Amino acid sequence: MTMLSRDAILAVVDLPREKVAVPEWGGSVIVQGLSAQQRDKVETTLRDFRDGEVKMREKGLTDFRARIVALCVINEDGSRMFSDDDISALGKKSAIAVERVADVALRLSGMTNEAVESAEKNSDEASSDDSSSD
């Protein structure tokens, strides 16, 4: 396998995109997976670190899907369609439509249960492969 350079890694456009039909809104949108930085920020809003334990924050779940839609729906040029100021308005849109778009965004971002389980499995397999090469 080819060894990558810093410049090669930083030059790659690696955020997956998918066109999603949203009949409730009368058309389609482009959904892009979260960057690592965006995902960390989202996960931080969901968790509370106290006394060495991780607990879910109830407030972090408020407008969760709308927040994901605001972060992941993009214009054709790749810029965000919605700002953080639009989250409340998106939260008032059809739950079915918002959930459809958010589900795709979460899948593209590796944040579904299936994606997490697959990553853990791949990590376990990689770890066992690494340990057997000693």
Query: What's the rounded Cα separation, in Å, for the pair 20 and 107?
Result: 13
Give residue-wise pLDDT tens across range 108-134: 999 987 755 555 565 566 555 555 444
pLDDT band at 61 (very low <50, low <70, confident <90, very high): confident
pLDDT value at residue 22: 98
Distance from first CA to last CA of the chain, Å, rounded?
19
pTM of the full predicted structure? 0.77
Query: What's the rounded Cα separation, in Å, for the pair 113 and 96?
Result: 20
Q: Cite the beta strand spans of 1-134 per DSSP E.
A: 17-22, 27-32, 47-50, 53-56, 73-74
Query: What's the rounded Cα separation, in Å, for the pair 102 and 70?
Result: 9
In the numeric block, the tokens 């106290």 are attached to: 50
Give me the mean pLDDT over the 16-20 stretch.
Answer: 98
Which domains are present in the chain?
Answer: 14-126 (3.30.2220.20)
Lowest mean pLDDT among 32-36, 40-44, 82-86: 40-44
pLDDT value at residue 115: 58
